Amino acid sequence: MAQDLKKAGFDAKASGVDANKWYADLAAGTFDTAIHWGSTSPSPYAQYQGWLDSTLAKGEAAKNRTGNFGGYDNPKADAALADYAKAADENQAKAAITTLSQIMADDAPVIPLMYAAGWYEYNTTKYDGWVDESNQYVDPSPNPANVMYVVLHLKPAGS
């Protein structure tokens, strides 16, 4: 990565750090930049909340951070997250996500590097309705947020 950044004009140097220190610095917000994974969910809400929700970086929540590691604070982002959480229909949810994606584009409080690989397998001997190439209704990885959603789509094979 440092070599790729150098080609783009950045003088980046790779230096390892003890995992305990990395986690402590991340939780305390004592870093210049960090590479960290994001939240997963059947909807974009969890990802945006983990990146932009200012309450995750304030008060008691800041002691055991689960997201917003950079301490981003934007009332417009918080309002859009609240709007998404209480959206009564798809149009309201889309409006909130549009606002959140515009904030990401304008402010870049987090810069996603890649969509991580999600490995999974399934067996159609007894059940149909799995996520597959023609039925992509959610990230199929066996993440806790997605498991029940997938199970609710399953039907006995051949039914």
**Each residue's pLDDT tens digit, 52-109:** 999 998 887 777 778 898 899 999 999 999 999 999 999 999 999 999 999 999 999 9
Nearest to 80 by CA among 43, 49, 108, 57: 49
Instruction: Please give the average per-residue pLDDT across 13-39, as a whole number.
Output: 84
**Each residue's pLDDT tens digit, 93-146:** 999 999 999 999 999 999 988 766 667 888 999 999 999 989 888 878 777 778
pTM of the shown model: 0.67
Instruction: Please give the average per-residue pLDDT across 25-44, as a whole number.
Output: 82
pLDDT of residue 23: 86
Give the burial string for 67-96 (b: 16+ CB within 10 Å, else e). Answer: bbbbebeeeebeebbebbeebeeeeebeeb
User: Do the Cβ atoms of 93 and 101 come closer than 8 Å?
Assistant: no
What is the torsion angle, in degrees rounded to the nearest 10, for the CA atoms of residue 130, residue 133, residue 138 and residue 141? Answer: 70
User: Domains in the chain, ordered, with CATH?
Assistant: 2-107 (3.10.105.10), 117-159 (no CATH)
**Interatomic CA distance for residues 48 and 87, integer angstroms:** 15
Which class for 43: exposed (0-12), middle (13-18), buried (19 or more C-beta within 10 A)? Answer: middle
**Interatomic CA distance for residues 50 and 43, integer angstroms:** 13
